Every structure is written in structure tokens, then in C-alpha cells.
Amino acid sequence: MFKNNFILKILFLFICFSFFITNSYSQKPDEIYNQYKNKFPDKMAVLLEKNDEIIIDFEADTVSTIHTEYEDLLFLTDRATGLSNQKAYESYFSKIEKIDAVTLVPNGKRYKKMKVEYFKKEKESSSGIFYDDLESTNFIMPNVSPKARTQVSITQNIKDPRFLSSFYLDSYVPIESAKLTLKVNKNIEIAYKLFNTENIKLDFTKTEKGNYIIYEWKAKNLEGFKSEDDAPRRNYFSPHIVYYVTQINYPNRSQKIAKSVADLYDWYSSLSCKVNLEDDAALFKTVEKLTKGMTDEQEKVKNIFYWVQDNIKYIAFEDGMRGFIPSEASFVYSKRYGDCKGMSSIIHKMLNMAGIENTYLTWIGSRNLPYKYSEIPTPIVDNHMIVTYQPTEGEFIFLDATDSYSPFGFPSSMIQGKEALLGMGRQKHKVALVPIIDKEKNYSKESVELSISDKKLIGKGKYSSEGYPKGYMTHYIDGLSKENEQRYMNRYFTKGNNKFFVDDYTINNLNKKDEALKIEYDFRIEDYAKFVGDEIYINMNMEKAFGNDEIDKKRKSPIENDYLFEANNDIFLQIPKGYEVEYLPENSTFKNDLFGYTIQYKKEGDKIKFVHNYYKNYLLLNNESFEDWNKMIKEANKAYREVIILKKK
């Protein structure tokens, strides 16, 4: 019975795909090409149709989800021929059942159908992941050229109703027509949520047919999206629909899948509750050593957290259900590596061994995911695991050892502002908000003493930083050879022009997480001072923080920032003997809640003090702030062109 029903569903979807192909033959190639070439003269291709159909039904005593994606792509220029290489992905949770792929090649007034016959399956390696179970089926569409069309239908069997996908109403090229259809058995309850669809016309219908409820969304004339620098992930701004199963009503029972956050937590808890039931003697000895003589609980937590940061290497694994079940702490301890769940497992176990019970395994999404547990209680919300320590009621410290350089009390920058799901015991959970660290805690300070020698500037710099700026810098410096470290110093502290050289430097507190990083350095800048007659011209704006950062007026996506920060820079220029100040530029300031700068000049005794402070107070800069940003850049660039003038007495 199971096999026959499954074959019927595949056959139904194949008939739909065949209809698309048959319908395509009635259109003349030149007519359709000219129509869309005129409509999209600067585009390399257009999706004539983008259709997803999902059938969620019973197969005996289980739920079957069959998902078919169909795309009909018309090629408008030679540049689009690179799109002939295609991939279809599958993993433990989603298996490819069928791929139909054809190229419709213009042949007079009709199309000639050329079917793909060769498919090659390969293991995939995702960026930043040491091992996962992702596989791809690769194929090449034949005879692709302008006027040709490729039609691809991919059918997948989704093993678990918790892992349904999303439907995006845009693509890398314009879409003429998009449709999402959900055909759902009446005894299976679903929910859906729309994201970023405010500016498109989206038609929705819900109908009943026999044992099914059919949900359908349609849209036409959809713009393509453009990849833009410093943009967040596509799901932050692209229109899309997230759909998911909430409850399954079997003949004799009901199973809640995603009615509420409690349902998601119950499932997560069932996967993690059987881990770390036994103690490991060697691990226990390490905990004893780390906490010996300590009476302050928070110091114990900090010591254990820092030990895991320094001794357990983060390696990402995504392998079916292993992507959801934490490794045993004893395994992580013996191997000295783990993924985020393994690192959380060992922190949690070590804290428990130290007698600290108010710590919780915690599920969380990185900032790549814009979703909330309260909106969509499914695994689409999170992709990460940490540990939460609760020193007092309502106070939470988030421990993420995958970031080896974050100080105790700082969450990793990638989870700031995100909801965290705390596992506080069987059938008990809490959703807490991870704080966004204030810009005042993420600072860098630099003080520079300058003097003029011929046309050369000689300088001594003192730099310090804390918070994320320190962590990011430590990440780059730690482990560098002396030669590469020298190069980094030249690059990081560059001032004035490309004739800047760091001659000597010292680094302090690099690996002391609770102390500011301090760097002192000696440098020179060749040919920087301009001598004209009895005057010296010097531009004190040696680091133009906002120099080339104007935002394109056509930009559509927000701009992402890793963290809030402020930078305070003072430069003291020794006035050469026999000279006096002829001209100091006017001060310049721009400030609002999200960004700003201050530039100031002042004569102090025999020195000129130049101050350049600036800050960014956002994680996402949205489109409504772009105009103010560009106004600031315009004012900053005007200030950056100013020079001081020294004149012989």
C-alpha cells in the first residue's frame, strides 16, 4: 500500500510536469524571446515559471511529504549560459526521488526537446563545516544558448514533517509567475507565516477537495534580487513563505509537532536527555584542578568556560540526527574537539561536576536566521547550541565556546539580539533574549605622538581595545609567525599613505581575556608633509574611517555590522621649532542614534591635538537610514580634505 500510494503521488507530479512541457510547445520561440528581451533588456535570463508543490499525506501509520520544485528558465543573453550547470541537494532528512530536466532548443517555429540523461552524485562540503551528510546530484543542461529554455523538475521525499522548507518569491533573475501549492490531508494541521511580502501582490486561496485542504499562493512580475556587499542573509529581505506542520491527528491519537515552543523543546529534550548520564574520572579531575580553592561560583564558571575555549577545538559536524544530538562530554574531552553541541555538552557537564546546577543547554539561532521561536516553533529558527548560566533569578550569562576569544560575559557576536531556548529540565523551558553588547564596551583607543623630520613623519602609537574589537584582532594575530605578524601590524595601523612602516612594536595581554589588549608601536611615514615655500601642509586625517562608504542609492538590502563599537583617536603633532600655526581647520561633527563622528583641532602648548572619534550603533542598517548615512559621509569627506598649515615665524 505504501509503495503504491507513493508511486501515485510521483505520477501525479510527473503529469503536472508533462503538462508544463506540452504547454511550452504551443509558444513560438522567437515570439516569447522577443517579448521578454524587450521587457528585460539588461537581464541575462527570466524565470517564466517557478512552482513548488508539496503533498503532505498519510502513508500507513506515518506522514509522507513529497515536495516537487519546477522551474522554466528562458535564456536572454550569452552570459546566462553559465546557468547550464545544475545541482539538486539531498541529506538525511530529504531524499531525491526523481529529476526531470530538459532543454527546449529553438527549432524554427517550435522547440526541440533535449533531455538530460547523465546525472552524477557527489558529496558536498559546506563552508565552515568539517563534515556533513549533504550530497548533490549534478547535471548539465544541453544546448543552452539565447532563446533556449531549461525546464527542471526535482521531486524529494522529506522524512520528517519538522523539516519542511520555505518558498522564496524572488530569485537571481526576474520571475514572471510564481506559485506555491500545499496539498494537505485534513487530519494534518499546518501553519504558515509570510516574510517581506508587503510590497508584492500575493493572491491566496484555501479550498477543500476530498480528503485534502489545498493552500495556494500566486504572484506575478517579481523582481530579481542582487547580491550586495555587507548584506545579511537573503531571508532578511527577500519575500518568502515559511510553512510547517503543527499537529498530526492519527485515528487513535494526536501528535503535536509545532503547536508551540513547548513542542519544539520537548523534541529537543528527548534527543539530549540521554547524554552525559555517566561521569568521566579524568574529566572530573580536570574540573577539580580548575576549581580548587575557589569559593566564588562565578569564578568557577569562568575558569571552566575559558578552559574549554582554550583546549577544545571547534569543528562543525552536520550528519543527520547527529546534527541535533550532543556528543558525550567524555568523547569531546578525549578527542579535544567538538561541534557547538559537543562544546556545550562538555561545558554543561563540567559545571555540573563542579556543583553548579543552574546551567542549561541552550538552543539558539545565529544572526543568519531572522526568525523567532514565538513566530515559528520549528528547527528553522535555530542552528546553534550554547550553555546559559543563571547566577541570579532573571540574570543570564551566555557561554559560547565556539568563539575562542570572547571574554566571559560576552555572547559570541553572531548571537547578539537573538532568542535563546533554555532547557531547564524535562518539560520545562524558557525563552530569553541575548543582549546586544553596548558600543561603549566594544572600544578601541589610539594615541599617537608625531614629529616632522624633513618630509617624513616620525610617530609613536599606543593602542588599546576591549570587547569584540579585541577578540577579532586577537583572532587574526594569535599564532602568526613573526614575519606575518609584522605585516599585519603594518596593514592594521596604516596611516597617511602607502609609505607607512611600523619599525618596532610590543603586544601585551593578547591572551588575557579579561584585560584590554595593548600595543605600542614606532612608525614612520615617508613623503607625507608638504613643504611649499615657508609653509608646511599636513592632513591630520590619516585614517579616513568613513572615506569611501557612500551607499548606492539603488541599494535594496540592509547593511550588516558584526557588532556595535566606538573608536577614539588622538594625534598630537609637535610643532617644529621656528614654526607657528597659520591655519587650523574647523571642527566637524555628525551624530545620531545609529552612527556618527567628531573631528576636532586644538593647539595645546607647542603641539596640535587632533581628535577623530567615530561610532556605529547598529547591527542592521535599514534602507530608511541610508539618506542620513550618505549625508554623514558627505560631511566627513569634506572634513577629511582639510589640512593644517604651519608657517615659519
Neighbours of 37 (CB within 10 A): 16
**Number of domains forming the structure of the chain:** 3
- Is residue 397 domain-shared with residue 304, that is, in the same domain? yes
pTM of the model: 0.90
Residue 387 confidence (pLDDT) above 90: yes
Which residues, 6+ apart, have CB-to-CB distance to 295 below 8 Å? none
Strand bridging mode 384-389 / 397-399: antiparallel
- Is residue 34 domain-shared with residue 140, that is, in the same domain? yes
Q: For residue 645, how many C-alpha atoms fall within 13 Å in the half-sphere facing its CB? A: 12
- Is residue 252 domain-shared with residue 138, that is, in the same domain? yes
Sign of the CA dihedral with 12 first, then 18, 20, and 23 last: negative
Query: How far apart, in whole angstroms, are the C-alpha atoms of residue 501 and residue 490?
Result: 6
Last residue of a domain, one of 401, 433, 465: 433
Asked if residue 54 lies in contact with residue 65, where contact means CB atoms within 8 angstroms, the answer is yes
Strand partners, 123: 135
Per residue in 408-444, pLDDT (tens digit) is 999 999 999 999 999 997 678 999 999 999 999 999 9
Classify 296 as helix, strand or coil: coil
81 pLDDT band, cuts 50/70/90, is: confident
Which residues, 6+ apart, have CB-to-CB distance to 205 below 8 Å? 214, 215, 216
Region 12-38: what's the mean pLDDT? 68
- Is residue 476 domain-shared with residue 567, that is, in the same domain? yes
Region 210-230: what's the mean pLDDT? 94
Query: How far apart, in whole angstroms, are the C-alpha atoms of residue 314 and residue 306?
Result: 14
Q: What domain range includes position 578?
A: 439-648
Q: What is the distance, to the nearest Å, from the Cα of residue 524 to the centroid of all Cα atoms in its chain? A: 39
DSSP secondary structure, 126-138, as one string:
-TT-SEE--EEEE
Residue 14 confidence (pLDDT) above 50: no
- Is residue 324 domain-shared with residue 287, that is, in the same domain? yes
Asked if residue 133 lies in contact with residue 92, where contact means CB atoms within 8 angstroms, the answer is yes
- Is residue 244 domain-shared with residue 335, that is, in the same domain? no
Classify 323 as helix, strand or coil: helix
20 pLDDT band, cuts 50/70/90, is: very low
- Is residue 474 domain-shared with residue 562, that is, in the same domain? yes
- Is residue 348 domain-shared with residue 490, that is, in the same domain? no
Query: How far apart, in whole angstroms, are the C-alpha atoms of residue 100 and residue 16?
Result: 12
Q: What is the distance, to the nearest Å, from the Cα of residue 232 to the centroid of all Cα atoms in its chain? A: 6
Give the model's pLDDT for residue 284.
96
Query: How far apart, in whole angstroms, are the C-alpha atoms of residue 280 and residue 282?
Result: 6
Asked if residue 646 lies in contact with residue 536, where contact means CB atoms within 8 angstroms, the answer is yes
Q: What is the CATH number of the domain that holds 465?
A: 2.60.120.1130
As a residue count, the chain comes to 649
| The CA-based dihedral angle spanning residues 481, 482, 488, 490, taken in that order and rounded to the nearest 10 degrees | -160
The label of the residue with cell 559536524 reads: 317
- Is residue 93 domain-shared with residue 70, that is, in the same domain? yes
Q: What is the CATH number of the domain that holds 232?
A: 2.60.40.3140
- Is residue 310 domain-shared with residue 243, that is, in the same domain? no
Last residue of a domain, one of 433, 459, 488: 433
User: Which has more pLDDT, 629 or 117?
Assistant: 629
- Is residue 289 domain-shared with residue 217, that is, in the same domain? no
Per residue in 335-373, pLDDT (tens digit) is 999 999 999 999 999 999 999 999 999 999 999 999 999
Give the closest residue to 102 by CA, choosing from 94, 111, 93: 111
- Is residue 544 domain-shared with residue 571, that is, in the same domain? yes
Sign of the CA dihedral with 496 first, then 499, 502, and 503 last: negative
Q: What is the CATH number of the domain that holds 312?
A: 3.10.620.30
Residue 7 confidence (pLDDT) above 90: no
Per residue in 472-518, pLDDT (tens digit) is 999 999 989 999 999 999 999 999 888 999 999 999 999 999 999 99
Give the closest residue to 136 by CA, choosing from 150, 152, 124, 118: 124
Residue 3 confidence (pLDDT) above 60: no
Last residue of a domain, one of 222, 256, 290: 256
Give the model's pLDDT for residue 15.
47
